[in-house]
Amino acid sequence: MLTPANYRFAKQIGCSHVVIHLVDYFRKPEQASGADNQPVDSGPGGWGIAGDPDALWTAEELRDIRRQIEVEGLRLEAIENFDPAHWYDVLLDGPRRTSHMENLKRLVRNVGAAGIPIMGYNFSIAGVAGRVSGPFARGGADSVGVDGVDQTPVPAGMVWNMVYDRYAKQGTLAPISHEELWRRLARFLEELVPVAEEASVILAAHPDDPPAETVRGTPRLVYQPRMYQRLLDLKPSRSNALEFCVGTIAEMTDGDVYKATEQYSAQGKLAYVHLRNVKGKIPRYHEVFIDEGDIDVPRIMRILKRNGYAGVLIPDHTPMVECSAPWHAGMAYAVGYMRALLQTLEQ
């Protein structure tokens, strides 16, 4: 989707910045990639096959992408998500952990060298697993949601809902505790945050989506709003921040999304914000249009403004609008709504 036409689309609907994904979430052995909807597949194959373990994104490649975006009058604010092929043994504490940490350090240095301010990540074993899709949004618009948490064990060779080893032996991931996962995150931050500081890159953590205590029998890190604070306190640094997903936080069972927005924006810890709406909470919720869910989006925007938030807001995902360009129409609707709210706040 990283094409001049899509950059112009973003510019035309009022975007100033873009956040890009470089992971191909849709790579299947039997089909070409390039789908542009949200991936929902679960089961043994997950979303698809992880990328090339030896092809780290180079500074030149990243700089080229940034320049193509700037040519169209936009700024490249962030890359969202590492490829599981490059860091699966950091998540799994496996035999390649040391070389995978070196991969992450090199990637963060390359992101910094390319002049990209933020690297988003999601420290998760099961990843975004167990989503379903259906006519969940207004007018029967196709959207995603969760209807009960998937607890089928993760097969060997898979992490983050993608397959990194197609030839892995039979079996499933050994169970681990929540504290063990926090220990893995602490080591990751301890080693990567200093590199990010030096490279002038902000690491931004997405909360667990879906935000259940366990998914596919694996522990989750940030499945209640307060758990974000623990992540920040593990390694205080301007490079340790949040990819603050308003929708995911609203899906959590504890606390409220306004309090959480207040708490973390007041600390200046929001690297960028995913702004989308949802109906329901874990274990049952549906993603919906930005103006029809449980979240009072104008109230979120007012809190962000009051606390001086100056970063980027993105729609995250939206329902597909029934027409010849469902993804584009969904995004244009969400961005237009956000632009109108911003203009109201600026008055």
Binding site for Mn ion (CB under 5 A): 245, 274, 316
Q: Are 211 and 251 in contact (CB under 8 A)?
A: yes
In the bound state with Mn ion, the residue whose beta carbon lies nearer, of 20 and 176, is 20
Nearer to Mn ion, 220 or 274 (CB): 274
Which CB sits closer to Mn ion, 36 or 198?
A: 36
- State which residue, 222 or 341, has the beta carbon closest to Mn ion: 222
Helix and strand element counts for the chain (H, E): 10, 16
Cα 128 versus chain centre, distance: 9
Q: Closest CB to Mn ion belongs to which residue?
A: 245
| CB of 274 closer than 8 Å to CB of 124 | no
From the CB of 326, what's the least distance to Mn ion, in Å?
19
Both structure tokens of 101 = 């940490």
Sheet of 202-205, strands arranged across: 17-20, 75-80, 118-121, 202-205, 240-245, 270-274, 312-314
Q: How far is the CB of 316 from Mn ion (least distance, A)?
A: 4
Closest separation in Å from C-beta 128 to Mn ion: 9
CB atoms within 10 A of CB 275: 25
The tokens of 102 are what?
A: 């070196």
Nearer to Mn ion, 114 or 212 (CB): 212
How far out from the chain centre does Cα 239 lie?
17
Q: How far is the CB of 246 from Mn ion (least distance, A)?
A: 8
Least Cβ distance, residue 97 to Mn ion (angstroms): 27
Q: Smaller CB distance to Mn ion: residue 110 or 122?
A: 122
The minimum distance between CB 276 and Mn ion, in angstroms, equals 7
Alpha-carbon distance 107 to 196, whole Å?
Answer: 10
**Residue 43: exposed, middle, or buried by beta-carbon count in 10 A (0-12, 13-18, 19+)?**
exposed
